[in-house]
């Protein structure tokens, strides 16, 4: 079929549709970027000839989002953004004919609905029907700044729209981990930037400031100037660098150390370790990832030879089976969770959520294994036992790339699902079903979270996740000598070696 979009009839229809839509547009603008106005101008449309409908009232019940349905053109982009992109299922399309309009839950005020304020609908709306509250979208920014969101490790890219050095509103940018999506924290959690309690000038401790506890306790906590005085940036930097240099020169490099923060970007982390290694002259540098995920790092180092995760979250798009165990990405890493949810709703893919207490991802899962608290290792071992017993292992991979498999096999003999079922509370047949599914899939991925790593036996639990992933599905051809395992890895029994081409599909979150 050949469709002519610029025939006389097509152009007439386009103008008519635009004119009908324009006739319902309210007088005030709600956005500076009205797509309807742009296209009307493009076809040189004048004042519409038709009478306007009765305008629905504004819904200003939400603290962050203003809803002016008077400007709605029923394009349903907001419905798609809410349901298909973010999988929040709050916005629906209700009523019929001329009354049709987007609604929140059961046509509730937005502020009373189950909206999680991700703002995806605001970003999608072409007419300003959904906009940042308080008319922020109508103020012309004088500049844009493009940072990385500081709240969690997903690393979403943002654009701050700024006027007079105040953030007006935020939009998502197309970054590798967010593809324009944001969550409530990245999109609306910026007011702290302008909080009156923030330091806006460098402060240096006053020479006459008390140094003992009694003196410090007596100081007014709301008045920093009793302890500090204002300084210029140069003076503060000189003072800090001078102090560090003095310690290094007097006591040696090992008297200094640096501990990096997860809120820093990769580039900042790189610069920080450079400062410590080159400036301080010591390798005493660490990062908080190795604190909260120290167990994961230990297991990863031991079993694949690298402490880093092997995959992007969005690799769920390439997986048939996804296991999320003891992690709550919907609340902790909301944008990453949207990609998991998208995959879970893709035909042919299976999401298995394993968690003793449940989380919002469960409603998107095909399986929910609510094992009893503290029985995660037993469940993972029972899954491994099933995979080995039923001959679902990738024997060539095991023979050429792992050590200690026979010991593992022997150890797992005690972990028949039928024996583990009463311990973990999951029926044996379900454990077997899930293990088979994971092992037979063309590609599988495991995500684990703090429920695994911040546990008294977190390293063992992470080892279990890693071991299941190694026994899993058929892999593409592998390369590299089997002897690549380090001796200390082999000595510890389960020395799986890293393979850059086929690193197991794992992620801790
Ligand atoms: S995206 Fe905006 S204009 Fe389109 S249906 Fe939703 S509210 Fe209406
Ligand atoms: S998921 Fe939310 S908090 Fe995390 S980086 Fe993205 S916008 Fe920020």
Write the pLDDT tens digit of every residue in 439-452: 999 999 999 998 88
Residue 473 pLDDT greater than 80, yes or no: no
Q: What is the mean pLDDT of residues 188-198?
A: 89
Cα-flanking dihedrals φ and ψ of residue 252, to 5°?
95, 160
Asked if residue 61 and residue 106 are part of one domain, the reply reads yes
> Residue 32: which pLDDT band, with cuts at 50, 70 and 90?
very high
Q: Is the pLDDT of residue 416 over 90?
A: yes
The total of structural domains in the chain comes to: 4
**Best probe residue, ligand 1, of 103, 130, 131 (max atoms within 8 Å of C-beta):** 130
Return the exposure string of 232-264: e unless at least 16 CB atoms fall within 10 Å of the residue's CB, then b. eeeeeeeeeeeebeeebeeeebeebebebeeeb
The reported pLDDT for the residue numbered 305 is 86
User: Both tokens of residue 213?
Assistant: 């506890």
pLDDT band at 15 (very low <50, low <70, confident <90, very high): very high
**CA of 96 relative to ligand 1 center, distance in Å:** 16
Ligand 1 site: residues with CB under 6 angstroms?
72-78, 102, 124-127, 129-130
The torsion region of residue 493 among left (phi > 0), alpha (psi -120 to 50) and beta comes to left
- Ligand with minimal distance to 187 CA: 2
Within 10 Å of residue 1's Cβ, how many Cβ atoms?
Answer: 2
Summarised one tens digit per residue, pLDDT across range 264-297 is 888 899 999 999 999 999 999 998 877 778 888 8
In a domain, 237, yes or no: no
Radius of gyration of the chain (CA): 29
Same domain, 186 and 119: no
The answer to the question of residue 365 being in a domain is yes
Q: From atom 6 of ligand 1, which residue's Cα is the shortest distance away?
A: 78
- Ligand 1: residue whose CA is nearest its atom 8: 72
Cα 182 to ligand 2 centroid, rounded to whole Å: 6
For 318, what's the count of Cα atoms within 13 Å in the CB-facing half-sphere?
Answer: 10
What distance, in Å, lies between the first and last C-alpha atoms of the chain? 48
Q: What is the mean pLDDT of the chain?
A: 88
Average pLDDT over residues 414-421: 96
Q: Which of 231, 252, 272 is the last residue of a domain?
A: 231
At a CB cut-off of 8 Å and minimum separation 6, what does 179 contact?
314
Tell how far the Cα of 187 is from the centroid of ligand 2, in angstroms: 8
Per-residue burial over 142-177, b = 16 or more CB atoms within 10 Å of its CB, e = otherwise: eeeeeebbbebebbbbbbbbeeeeebbbbbbbebeb
Domain co-membership, 347 together with 445:
yes
Q: How confident is the model at residue 487 (pLDDT cuts 50, 70, 90)?
A: very low
Q: Please check whether residue 178 lies inside any domain of the structure.
A: yes
Q: Whose CA is nearest to atom 6 of ligand 2?
A: 156
Per DSSP, helices labelled H in 3-54 are 8-23, 35-42
Q: What is the pLDDT of residue 470?
A: 67
Where does a domain end: 81, 107, 134? 134
Residue 407: inside a domain = yes
Q: Does residue 442 belong to any structural domain of this protein?
A: yes
CA angle 499, 503, 505 (to 5 degrees): 170
From the CA of 338, how far away is ligand 2's center (Å)? 11
Same domain, 37 and 130: yes
Ligand 2 pocket test: pick from 146, 150, 182 the residue with the most ligand atoms within 8 Å of its Cβ. Answer: 182
Segment 309-317 shows an average pLDDT of 89
Residues 473 and 387 in one domain: yes
Evaluate if residue 491 carries a pLDDT over 80: no
Mean pLDDT of 501-506: 38
The verdict on residue 288 lying in a domain is no
Distance 123 CA to ligand 1 centre (A): 10
Q: Which of 415, 411, 413, 404 has the alpha carbon at shortest distance from 375?
A: 415
For the chain, counts of helices (H) and of strands (E): 20, 16
Give pLDDT, residue 466.
Answer: 77
Ligand 1 probe mutation, 25, 110, 127, 128, most atoms within 8 A of CB: 127
Given a contact cutoff of 8 angstroms between Cβ atoms, the answer to whether 340 and 361 are in contact is: yes
Contact 420, 381 (CB under 8 A): yes
> Ligand 2 pocket test: which of 332, 335, 509 has the largest number of ligand atoms within 8 Å of its C-beta?
335
Q: Are strands 321-325 and 444-448 parallel, antiparallel or unpaired?
A: parallel
Quick one: pLDDT at residue 311? 86
CATH number at residue 119: 3.30.70.20
Q: Find tokens 């929910």 and name the residue.
A: 368
Is residue 107 located within the same domain as residue 170?
Answer: no
167 and 299 belong to one structural domain: no
Q: What is the pLDDT of residue 306?
A: 83
Shared-domain flag, residues 423 and 500: yes
Are residues 374 and 477 part of one domain? Answer: yes
Where a domain ends, among 156, 173, 198? 198
pLDDT in tens, 44-70: 998 999 998 888 899 999 999 999 999
Residue 313 shares a structural domain with residue 452: yes
CA 277, CA 258: separation in Å to the nearest integer? 9
Position 384 pLDDT exceeds 70? yes
Alpha helix stretches (DSSP H) within 264-394: 266-274, 289-292, 294-304, 329-332, 334-344, 376-389
Tell me the C-alpha distance between 409 and 18, whole Å.
69
In a domain? residue 286 = no
Residues 110 and 206 placed together within one structural domain of the fold: no
The CATH code of the domain that includes 456 is 3.40.228.10
Q: Is the pLDDT of residue 156 over 80?
A: yes
Residue 499 has pLDDT above 60, yes or no: no
pLDDT of 472 strictly over 60? no
CB proximity list for 141: less than 8 A, separation 6 or greater: 161, 162, 163, 168
Mean pLDDT of the region 315-344: 96
pLDDT in tens, 84-125: 999 999 999 999 888 899 999 999 999 999 999 999 999 999
Same-domain pairing of 355 and 502: yes
Is residue 247 in a domain? Answer: no
For 121, the domain range is: 22-134
């Amino acid at each position: 079929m050949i469709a002519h979009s610029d025939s006389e009839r097509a152009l007439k229809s386009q103008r008519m549709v635009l004119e009908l839509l324009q006739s319902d547009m309210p007088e005030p603008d709600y956005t500076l970027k009205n797509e309807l106005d742009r296209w009307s101008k493009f076809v040189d449309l004048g004042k519409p000839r038709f009478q306007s409908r009765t305008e629905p009232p504004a819904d200003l019940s939400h603290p962050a989002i203003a809803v002016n349905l008077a400007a709605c053109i029923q394009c349903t982009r907001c419905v798609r953004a809410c349901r298909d992109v973010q999988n929040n299922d709050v916005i629906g399309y209700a009523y019929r004919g001329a009354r049709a309009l987007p609604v929140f839950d059961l046509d509730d005020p937005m502020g009373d609905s189950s909206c999680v304020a991700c703002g995806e609908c605001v970003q999608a709306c072409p007419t300003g029907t959904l906009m940042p509250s308080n008319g922020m979208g109508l103020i012309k920014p004088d500049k844009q700044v493009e940072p990385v969101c500081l709240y969690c490790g997903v690393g979403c890219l943002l654009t701050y729209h700024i006027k007079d050095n105040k953030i007006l509103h935020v939009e998502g940018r197309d970054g590798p981990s967010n593809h324009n999506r944001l969550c409530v924290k990245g999109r609306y959690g910026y007011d702290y930037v302008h909080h009156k309690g923030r330091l806006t000038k460098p402060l240096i401790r006053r020479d006459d400031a008390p140094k003992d506890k009694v003196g410090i306790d007596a100081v007014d906590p709301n008045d920093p100037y009793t302890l500090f005085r204002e300084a210029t940036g140069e003076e503060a930097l000189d003072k800090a660098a001078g102090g560090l240099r003095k310690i290094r020169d007097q006591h040696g490099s090992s008297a200094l150390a640096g501990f990096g923060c997860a809120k820093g970007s990769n580039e900042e982390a790189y610069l920080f370790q450079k400062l410590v290694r080159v400036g301080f002259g010591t390798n005493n540098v660490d990062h908080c990832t190795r604190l909260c995920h120290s167990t994961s790092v230990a297991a990863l180092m031991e079993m694949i030879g690298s402490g880093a995760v092997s995959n992007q979250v969005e690799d769920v798009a390439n997986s048939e089976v996804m296991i999320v165990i003891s992690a709550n990405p919907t609340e902790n890493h909301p944008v990453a969770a949207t990609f998991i949810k998208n995959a879970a709703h893709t035909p042919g893919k299976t999401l298995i959520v394993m968690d003793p207490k449940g989380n919002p991802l469960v409603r998107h899962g095909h399986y929910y294994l609510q094992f009893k608290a503290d029985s995660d290792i037993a469940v993972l071992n029972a899954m491994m036992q099933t995979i080995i017993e039923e001959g679902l292992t990738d024997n060539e991979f095991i023979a050429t790339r792992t050590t200690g498999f026979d010991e593992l096999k022997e150890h797992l003999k005690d972990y028949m699902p039928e024996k583990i079922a009463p311990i973990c509370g999951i029926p044996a047949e379900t454990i077997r079903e899930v293990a088979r599914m994971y092992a037979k899939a063309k590609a599988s991925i495991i995500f684990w979270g703090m429920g695994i790593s911040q546990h008294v036996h977190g390293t063992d639990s992470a080892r279990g996740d890693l071991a299941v992933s190694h026994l899993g599905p058929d892999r593409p051809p592998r390369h590299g000598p089997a002897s690549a395992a380090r001796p200390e890895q082999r000595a510890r029994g389960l020395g799986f070696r890293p393979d850059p081409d086929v690193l197991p599909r794992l992620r801790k979150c």
